[in-house]
Amino acid sequence: MLQAVVIREHTEKILEGLRKRNLKDADVLIREILNNDQLRRDTQGILDDLKAKSNADSKKIGELMKSGQANEATALRAAVATAKDKIKSLEAELDGYEKNQTELLYKIPNVPNEKVPAGKSAEDNITVYEHGTVPSLGEGALPHWDLIKKYDIIDFDLGNKIAGAGFPVYKGKGAKLQRALINFFLDEADKQNYKEVQPPIVVNEASGYGTGQLPDKEGQMYFINEEGLYLIPTAEVPITNLYRDVIVAEEELPVKNVGYTPCFRREAGSWGAHVRGLNRLHQFDKVEIVQIAKAEDSEAILDEMCAHVQGLLEKLELPYRKLLLCGGDMGFSSAITYDMEVYAAGQQRWLEVSSVSNFETFQANRLKLRYKTKDGKTQLLHTLNGSALALPRIVASILENNQTPDGIRIPKALVPYTKFEFIN
C-alpha cells in the first residue's frame, strides 16, 4: 500500500508511474485520496487544538474553585462539557476519514520501478536474457497431456472425479518426480542459506490484505466461509505475514525464508489449448523463496534471487528466457518483476515457471514491517519473493523436452532424488 504522505509529496511521480500500469481513473483516485487526506489532516488539527484547550480549561476549573470564583468555574465546566461532546464528534469524523483513506489506498497498485518499461500486455515485456538451445524433437513428439497418458503418471480424469477440473492425481513415477523436484528445490535453497518454514496453507483476511492479494485478487482465491479463511494462492502470503507487525533487528537482515506448499487458484477464465493439461491448474505445488531487506540492498537481492532461479533451470537442463515485465503485465503489489519462461518442445511454446518480484515498501507498509536503525528511527523494509519453482509447467517441460525412444529421460540433477533415470 502506498503511503498518503508519499502521494502528497510526490504526486506527479506517482501518477507518472501509475500511467505505466494503464490504471483507469488514476488521476481521479489520486485526487480523491489527496482531498480526503486534507480533510483528515484539517480535522486532526482542529481536534488536537480542542483537546489541548479542553485540558487546559479542566485544570483552570480547580484553580478557580480554590480562589473562590465558583460562578466562573461553573461556566467553564459547562464549556468543557460542550467541548468534550465536540471532541467525540470530531473523533468519529476523523475515524471516518481514516477508514475511507485506507479503502482508497487499497485500490491503488504499487508504483512501478523506474526500470519497468511502459506497456499494456505480455507482448510489451522485454527479453533480457536467454539460455540454452530450444530442442527440436522432430515428428512424433508429443505434448505432455499425451505423454502422461502414455506412461500413466498423471490422471486428470481421476482428479475430476474426486474434486473437479484442474485437480490432477499424480501416480507412480509421476508422484515420485513431483516429490523429487520439491526436495531438489528445497535443498538448493538450503545451500543458499534460506531458512525452511512450513506455513499454514490457509490465511485470514488480515494476511490477505497484508501482502496485497486482498482486495485485488479476492475473486481468484478459494474462500472457506465458516471460518473466514482463504486457501493460499502462493506460499508468499503466509511466509511474508510471519513478519506482520514486527520490528526486525537490523543485524538479522536480510531475512531469507523458503517454503513448500500446495497452492490454490480459482483461475476463472477461458479454457483452451494454451491452458491445457498442466499449463493451468486449480491446485499445484510450489517452492517459494522470500526475502526481507533494507531498501538499499533490495535491488542487488532481486538480482541474486533471479540468479538462484536461473541456476535451478540450468541444473534441470531446461532452455529458458528471462523477461522484464512491462507496467501493464505486472502484479498489483509488485514494483518490478522478472519472469522466467522455459521452452516446452511438445507444445512448441514458452511457459512461465517463475516470477521474481521486488515489492519495495508496498507490502511492508500494509504489514507494518519495519526495522530500527542505529539512531533509533524505524524504517519500512523491502519485501521480495520468487517461485523457485512452480512445479506443473516444470514437469510439463521436463516430460516434453526429454522424450526419447526409450522413455522420458530424467535430468541428471534429479536422479539422486527420483532413484530412476527414465520414465518408461
Q: Which H or E run contains 175?
A: helix 173-191
Place of cell 505480455: 122
Tell me what pLDDT residue 271 has. 52
DSSP secondary structure code for residue 197 in this structure = -
pLDDT tens for the 424 residues of the chain, in order: 999 999 999 999 999 999 999 998 899 999 999 999 999 999 999 999 999 999 999 999 988 988 989 898 999 999 999 999 999 999 999 999 999 999 999 999 999 999 999 999 999 999 999 999 999 888 889 999 999 999 999 999 999 999 999 999 999 999 999 999 999 999 999 999 999 999 999 999 999 999 999 998 888 999 999 999 999 999 999 999 999 999 999 999 999 999 999 999 997 554 555 679 999 999 999 999 999 999 999 999 999 999 999 999 999 999 999 999 999 999 999 999 999 999 999 999 999 999 999 999 999 999 999 999 888 899 999 999 999 999 999 999 999 999 999 999 999 999 999 999 999 9
Could you list the beta-strand ranges (E) of 232-275: 247-248, 255-264
Domains with residue ranges and CATH for the chain: 4-106 (1.10.287), 122-423 (3.30.930.10)
Sequence letter at residue 71: N
Sequence letter at residue 4: A
pTM confidence score: 0.92
322 strand-pairing partners: 129, 340
Residue 97 in contact with residue 105, Cβ under 8 Å?
no
How many Cα atoms within 13 Å fall on the side-chain side of residue 417?
A: 21
Tell me what pLDDT residue 275 has. 77
Residue 313 in contact with residue 131, Cβ under 8 Å?
yes
Rounded-to-integer distance, Cα 170 and Cα 45, Å: 62
Rounded-to-integer distance, Cα 207 and Cα 239, Å: 10
Residue 364 in contact with residue 333, Cβ under 8 Å?
no
Tell me what pLDDT residue 274 has. 64
Residue 341 in contact with residue 309, Cβ under 8 Å?
no
Rounded-to-integer distance, Cα 267 and Cα 217, Å: 10
Instruction: Give the pairing type, strands 320-324 and 126-131.
Output: antiparallel
Rounded-to-integer distance, Cα 395 and Cα 176, Å: 11
Tell me what pLDDT residue 62 has. 87
Sequence letter at residue 274: H
Tell me what pLDDT residue 272 has. 55
Place of cell 483528515: 40
How many Cα atoms within 13 Å fall on the side-chain side of residue 26?
A: 18
Rounded-to-integer distance, Cα 165 and Cα 126, Å: 33
Neighbours of 219 (CB within 10 A): 9
